[in-house]
Homo-oligomer: A and B are copies of this chain.
């Protein structure tokens, strides 16, 4: 008689975005004349840039002819893409990452979920609170999170590191020593970034305590400040303690095109075993590579044209971020984020919970955002707005909020 993975039954329902959808639907039906502006989504809205489109067409043509047709891709990904990544994302920032330390995948979500495969169930994880839910949920599925405590909105065996205004939206070194530390900077959902000195503390801590850091750098392209590291490997010693996960979703609009990569330096070992080898084995056994066409599109992001065009898109989104940040500040809100990330994190006005503010904003300004409490108890009393709307809508939304 077969047995299921009972850990799945411990997972609470994942209703954040469906609850938002329901509320918006109800409001729209009751108020068909109101124009709703959605600044809640974490999805990009601008189309793929011309350089990427051109590469997709070209790679498609390659697949149409026997001479250039591509079957199974190399396990780690095509070298043309891994070389471009190594050169642009690392070497140009003074970091030396070899092509066989880069693993191409179908995206950062898959990688940040699947990376748990190479670790024992008996590891204690630490996460920021609020946090991108995938880290915790996937560890819960693998039996690492203990039990869910509904009244606290937390898991019994997870170390939560509060990231609130009291901590300046950065985690503090935990009192209890974790085995695996998830860090995401620039951060989803708070939009906060940390500088190199702060990140170096985490690297030193991990090396000292024998922890591994899983560093999610999906929002790296939005960094605008000089002292914010683009890769954890800019820190000394990171190669012996950190895995970095990167994405093409937010820098090049690949949310529906699916491409990402994970870096595991060969220096990262446990008892002499390279984690690079374990991940290579997982990659080769449970994955068959990202599509050739999509890898070719990814390489186009690193061409001169591609870099210029994707930079323009990011500038467009960050212009929205500025509108939101400055507008809300002018309206008297306490606002953070939006400088090195497309997310703006605001404190809800006095006595309002995240959901109360959601309802208030929907009703009074017809603007949709995301309640901070949806990202964990540390998000209660906060609210996320995103820069992925159109400029015109973003302007209008902020004008409406200002008038409240």
Say yes or no for A334: interface residue by CB 8 A criterion.
no
Say yes or no for A180: interface residue by CB 8 A criterion.
yes
How far, in whole Å, are A120 and B294 apart by their CA atoms in the complex?
34
Q: Which residues of B contact A113 (CB under 8 A)?
A: 285-287
A337 to chain B, nearest CB (A): 21
How far, in whole Å, are A11 and B43 apart by their CA atoms in the complex?
39
B-contacting residues, A1-41, CB 8 Å: 1-6, 8-9, 11, 14
- The interface centre, meaning the residue of A11, A120, A122, A288 with most chain B CB atoms within 10 A of its CB, is A288
A289 and B258 in contact (CB under 8 A), knowing A2-B270, A60-B53, A123-B2?
A: yes
Partner of A63, one of B53, B64, B284: B53
Say yes or no for A315: interface residue by CB 8 A criterion.
no
A17 to chain B, nearest CB (A): 10
A270 touches B72 (CB 8 A): no
Which size class do A's interface residues fall under?
35 or more
Say yes or no for A197: interface residue by CB 8 A criterion.
no
A285 touches B4 (CB 8 A): no
Partner of A50, one of B46, B64, B180: B64
A286 and B114 in contact (CB under 8 A), knowing A6-B120, A275-B4?
A: yes
Binding-face segment, A150-158, A207-215, A227-235: A207-215
How far, in whole Å, are A290 and B65 apart by their CA atoms in the complex?
23
B209 touches A118 (CB 8 A): no
Q: List 16 A-B contacts (CB under 8 A).
A: A1-B179, A3-B122, A4-B270, A5-B119, A11-B281, A43-B72, A47-B63, A72-B255, A72-B256, A110-B286, A110-B287, A117-B141, A134-B285, A141-B286, A257-B293, A293-B293
